């Protein structure tokens, strides 16, 4: 029976291969995580000011629209209150 070199036994090779694969995966994971950080920083540097300006414009537009809608609502509310007061005065027979 031929003797098998323990360093070349299939189990030994498999264990060694798995250990090397795990090391490689760890290195790749670290590189991937660092690349994500780099991409986020680069994106923040290049697109950040434009994104900020766009968001500020949108918020400003929303504020203007809400202010206009609210002032219109208040005007309508004031007119409606006056109409209701006059109607109540007419119904109750008292003059305002």
Residue 2: exposure state from Cβ atoms within 10 A (0-12, 13-18, ≥19)? exposed
- Domain residues of the chain, as ranges? 8-92
Give Cα separations from 13 to 3, 6, 16, 19, 24 (angstroms): 17, 9, 5, 10, 16
Segment 1-25 mean pLDDT: 82
Model confidence at 20: pLDDT above 80: yes
Model confidence at 33: pLDDT above 90: yes
Residue 4: exposure state from Cβ atoms within 10 A (0-12, 13-18, ≥19)? exposed
Q: Residue 94's pLDDT band (boundaries 50, 70, 90)? A: low
Residue with more model confidence, 96 or 73: 73
Tens digits of residue pLDDT in 35-64: 999 999 998 888 888 888 888 888 888 888
> Both tokens of residue 79?
């007119």
Model confidence at 86: pLDDT above 70: yes
Model confidence at 78: pLDDT above 80: no
């Amino acid at each position: 029976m031929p003797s098998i070199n323990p360093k070349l036994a299939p189990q030994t090779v498999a264990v060694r291969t798995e250990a090397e694969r795990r090391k490689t995966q760890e290195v790749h994971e670290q590189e991937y995580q660092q690349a994500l950080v780099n991409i986020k920083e680069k994106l923040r540097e290049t697109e950040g000011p434009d994104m900020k300006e766009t968001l500020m414009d949108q918020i400003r537009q929303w504020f203007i629209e809400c202010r206009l809608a609210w002032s219109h609502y208040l005007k309508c509310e004031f007119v409606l209150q006056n109409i209701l007061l006059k109607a109540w005065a007419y119904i109750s027979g008292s003059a305002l």
